[in-house]
Amino acid sequence: MRNRIAPAESAESAESAESAGKVVVAAASAGRPIGVSPAIAPDIVGVPTSWADAHMYWVGNQWPPEGAPAWGSNAATEFMDAARPFPFGAWDPDRYAQVVVADLVARPKIDLTINSPPDPAFGAKKRNVGWNTLLEAGVDAQNPTGDAWQATAVAAVNAEAAAAVPTLKAIGNGIQLPLPTPNTGSAVEYAQSIQHALAFEQLELAALVPYRAGVRAEAMAQNTSIQQYFEGVLSFNPRSHPATSYLVVAALRVASFQAMFYKHHFNRARPSLQNPLLMPPIDPPGHAAFPSGHATQARLIALCLEQALSGTGLNVKTPPDSALAEQGPLRLMARRIARNREVLGLHYPSDSYMGRKLADLSFALLLTCPTVMKVPPGGASGNPGTATFYSPFLSTANGQGGYIQGGTASGSYDPDSLLGLARREWAN
């Protein structure tokens, strides 16, 4: 059937297969396991004396996660619109995704005001960026003589401490939080921050080892099949929502391409290579750790699906152009997928942190791509719409010569473009 995708064609790339330069076609599904995944931020009992103190623990989340806001419901009244056009049916979804990647590479640079890294204490800079200059070691890390993951580790630790219950003010040996950054401390203090942050990441991963039993089945399913978890959240498949499925496969391919480029650039070792105590239950993928490919893929899928859902009942509580989107089901599922990789000992939290940032900046570029935003050759353009999304990794001018954390990026799309057709599939 020309206008449908067979189930096996809903190909999705897995980080373990990305080094082979291909997208894996998932075999027959054995279900969608949901385990008990530890929260990102710890709960604190008493005054911990070290990062690995027994009084620090992580709440186990099933689905939906604890504390999730009311998300609303999709107001669909019909199973599907049989008259809905879908002009991409002659294309295999993975082949069309490769066209989108080529389109991304060909796009001219755009101006973005980017947090460096995603922590306002590091400051923000307006930069002219393209696909291969989104993450630059000297600029992004604010640490020209070091590595990008060092500054990202500091930012990740500060964010986790701020989200802890109650807020974590200090760790053992009198180390105060938040850790000093180049904008809040001296060069000596920042060098110490890096050492404390890197030590914390190792100790946190060791403390998460006992949580592996609770996430193993889910994490193993996500090792090769990310897409099915988003399909489960929204109850769609390639036959019910073909344009949406093409958009998801394009997100997987773009994220894989971007992650592999920057992994090769930064070349960070896997956690288990540095610490034998973290022996993962599966072999680590044969490429570098930073940024996390799974985090990049899951986040970019979430951003694309938010745009497809914009204006529907499910997205009323979490509009994609609002900071509330961070608590929406799609971004939280993306965080969960990345967190499970940390529990397995395959990634540091800072790998996941930068994966999310790479996805957001890549999405800003994706909103300029004709393969996603314009009608195919030979089609007729209609009245354009606007796709806007919020990112904590972008910044907005505060009117006083500085910036505040959080900003938006947007692009115009034609109603018969891939994004436009995906939106029509979800229209009330």
What's the whole-number mean pLDDT along residues 195-203? 89
- Give the number of C-alpha atoms closer than 13 A to the C-alpha of residue 322, restricted to the C-beta side: 11
| Confidence (pLDDT) at 353 | 92
The CA distance from 402 to 129, in Å, is: 20
| Confidence (pLDDT) at 60 | 82
Range in 1-5, 42-46, 368-372, 376-380 with the lowest mean pLDDT: 1-5
Q: Provide the CATH number for the domain formed by 7-425 in this structure.
A: 1.20.144.10
CB 267 within 8 A of CB 300: no
What is the pLDDT confidence band of residue 345, given thresholds at 50, 70 and 90? Answer: very high
Nearest alpha-carbon partner for 360 in 393, 398, 314: 393
The structure tokens 């096996």 sit at: 8
Range in 108-117, 171-180, 297-306, 339-348 with the lowest mean pLDDT: 171-180
What is the pLDDT confidence band of residue 370, given thresholds at 50, 70 and 90? Answer: very high
Say whether pLDDT at 352 is over 90: yes
What is the pLDDT confidence band of residue 62, given thresholds at 50, 70 and 90? Answer: confident
User: What average pLDDT does the structure give for the chain?
Assistant: 80
Range in 43-57, 188-202, 304-318 with the lowest mean pLDDT: 43-57
Range in 104-108, 113-117, 170-174 with the lowest mean pLDDT: 170-174
Say whether pLDDT at 182 is over 70: yes
Write out pLDDT tens, residues 120-135: 556 677 889 999 988 8
CB 142 within 8 A of CB 116: yes
CB atoms < 10 A from the CB of 47, how many? 10
DSSP codes of every residue in 63-123:
SSPTTPPP-------SS--TT---TTTTS-HHHHHHHHHHHHHHSPPEEEEEESSS-GGG-
CB 313 within 8 A of CB 46: no
pTM, two decimals, is 0.85
More confident residue, 112 or 183: 112
| Confidence (pLDDT) at 301 | 97
Write out pLDDT tens, residues 289-323: 999 999 999 999 999 999 998 867 666 557 788 88
Q: What percent of the chain has pLDDT over 70?
A: 75
Query: Residue 205: CB partners within 8 Å, gap ≥ 6?
Result: 271, 275, 278, 342, 345, 348
Write out pLDDT tens, residues 211-264: 999 999 999 999 988 999 999 999 899 988 999 999 999 999 999 999 999 999
Q: Which of 84-98, 155-169, 353-367, 412-426 has the highest mean pLDDT?
A: 353-367
What's the whole-number mean pLDDT along residues 405-410? 84
Longest dimension (CA), the chain: 67
The torsion angles phi and psi of 62, rounded to 5 degrees, stand at -90, -135
Q: 371 is written with which tokens? A: 């393969």
| Confidence (pLDDT) at 16 | 42
Nearest alpha-carbon partner for 394 in 335, 325, 337, 332: 325
Chain mean position to CA 218: 18
Angle at 329 between CA 81 and CA 70, to 5 degrees: 95
Say whether pLDDT at 13 is over 80: no
The structure tokens 């997928």 sit at: 337
| Confidence (pLDDT) at 5 | 36
| Confidence (pLDDT) at 51 | 55
| Confidence (pLDDT) at 164 | 80
Angle at 414 between CA 408 and CA 415, to 5 degrees: 110
Range in 3-17, 83-97, 334-348 with the lowest mean pLDDT: 3-17
Q: Classify 269 as helix, strand or coil.
A: coil
The CA distance from 325 to 363, in Å, is: 15
| Confidence (pLDDT) at 175 | 82
